[in-house]
């Protein structure tokens, strides 16, 4: 399995916007010192692979991209932000299992279809 | 066997536990499934409310279930279980959530399962100690008050246990004992899994 996750190390979302196209975006704000972020990393890898056609995933280090983290009001890590069409559509603060994260994505994708 | 054929789920688990891969031939997809089934079995006896879901997951892994719809249904049932009002059932639900993916596409599977089962073991150790939710709440009330200090200064972190002992010696003694046994139970299952990876239980 190869990871399709983008790493954003600046303060622009242009790389994920360009890569995502019409797909939902999952922005994963974390930090190198964050234990729960490390614990959750395999689950993020798994969903990035299994949702590759529908969701674009980017990891963002809140210290390397502090202005970006501030612009999203990130106060704790991990913070997961779901974004579509330039708008935030959902967020979760704290660790999630793969099952819970998949449920969040499924629900958001279903809502998107309902609104389309 | 080349490293390409090592199960990603086992590779992640090894990394989490710091187990040196001495025998890569024992880390393929079949080994991952055998390990997962062994880990699930280690949570028996299951609470009555969790039994059907746990049994279904065990069977799905053992038989190599390939129907995505069945896995999806199992995940929904696992989430329902983890939201159960009874803490023990809820923690088994977290185990079920972790196990509700076919391992071939789940790098996170064994690591999440490990943490979930450790939490079950820790909870069961706490129950065996007679440590109740009321005890936990009472201890946290005292610890929070101590940590707040006198409104002007806050105590050093290292001083907090001694201040707790002064405030309520009996509760502090039970709190410390419970903490020790819970941590021992949590780490104990990690050691069991590390031993399995090293070949002890095959």
Mean pLDDT of all residues in chain A? 91
* Residue A13 counted as domain residue: yes
The residue-averaged pLDDT of A66-80 equals 96
The confidence score (pLDDT) of residue A104 equals 93
Contact B79 A1 (CB under 8 A): no
Closest Cα in chain B, distance from residue A93 (Å) = 18
**Given the residues A34, A52, A64, A95, the one annotated as active site:** A34
User: How high is the mean pLDDT in each 10-residue block of chain B (202 residues)?
Assistant: 67 84 66 93 96 96 92 93 95 96 88 95 95 95 93 90 96 97 96 86 57
- What residue ranges do the domains of chain B occupy? 3-129+186-197, 133-178
> pLDDT per residue over A3-41, tens digit each?
589 999 899 999 999 999 999 999 999 999 998 998 899
Cα dihedral sign for A22, A110, B59, A41?
A: positive
Write down the pLDDT at residue A2.
Answer: 45
Please state the ipTM of this predicted complex: 0.71
Q: How many domains does chain A have?
A: 1
Report the length, in residues, of chain A. Answer: 116
DSSP A49-67: HHTTTTEEEEEEETTTTHH
In a domain, A55, yes or no: yes
CATH code where residue A36 lies: 3.40.30.10
d(CA B4, CA B159): 51
pLDDT grade, residue A116 (50/70/90)? low
For chain A, what percent of residues have pLDDT higher than 70? 94
- The pLDDT of residue B1: 41
Tell me the shortest Cα–Cα distance from A80 to chain B, in angstroms.
Answer: 18
Grouping H, G, I as helix, E, B as strand and the rest as coil, residue B144 is helix
Cβ pair A99:B8 closer than 8 A: no
Does A50 sit within 8 Å of B105, measured CB to CB?
Answer: yes
Residue A110 belongs to a domain: yes
**Residue A57: domain span:** 6-115
- The answer to the question of residue A1 being in a domain is no
A→B interface, C-beta within 8 Å? 1, 39, 42-43, 45-46, 49-50, 97-100, 102-103
């Amino acid at each position: 399995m190869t990871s399709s996750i983008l790493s954003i190390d600046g303060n622009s979302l242009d790389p994920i916007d360009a890569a995502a196209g019409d797909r939902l975006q999952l922005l994963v704000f974390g930090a190198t010192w964050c234990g729960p972020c490390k614990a959750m990393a395999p689950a993020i890898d798994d969903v990035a692979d299994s949702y590759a056609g529908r969701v674009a995933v980017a990891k963002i280090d809140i210290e390397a991209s502090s202005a970006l983290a501030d612009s999203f009001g990130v106060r704790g890590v991990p913070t997961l932000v779901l974004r579509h069409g330039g708008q935030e559509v959902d967020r979760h603060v704290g660790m999630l299992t793969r099952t819970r994260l998949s449920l969040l994505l499924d629900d958001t994708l279903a809502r998107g279809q309902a609104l389309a | 066997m080349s490293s390409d054929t090592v199960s990603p789920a086992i590779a992640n688990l090894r990394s989490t536990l710091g187990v040196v891969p001495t025998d890569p031939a024992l880390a393929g997809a079949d080994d991952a499934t055998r390990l997962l089934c062994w880990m699930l079995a280690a949570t028996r006896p299951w609470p009555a409310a969790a039994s059907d879901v746990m049994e279904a997951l065990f069977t799905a892994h053992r038989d190599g279930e390939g129907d995505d719809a069945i896995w999806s249904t199992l995940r929904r049932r696992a989430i329902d279980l983890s939201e159960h009002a009874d803490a023990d059932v809820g923690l088994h639900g977290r185990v079920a959530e972790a196990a509700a993916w076919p391992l071939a596409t789940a790098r996170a599977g064994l690591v999440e399962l490990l943490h979930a089962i450790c939490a079950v073991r820790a909870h069961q150790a706490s129950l065996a100690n007679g440590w109740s939710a009321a005890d936990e709440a009472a201890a946290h009330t005292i610890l929070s008050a101590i940590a707040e200090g006198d409104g002007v200064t806050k105590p050093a972190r290292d001083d907090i246990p001694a201040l707790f002992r002064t405030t309520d010696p009996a509760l502090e003694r039970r709190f410390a004992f419970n903490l020790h046994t819970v941590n021992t139970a949590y780490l104990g299952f990690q050691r069991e899994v590390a031993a399995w990876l090293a070949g002890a239980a095959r």
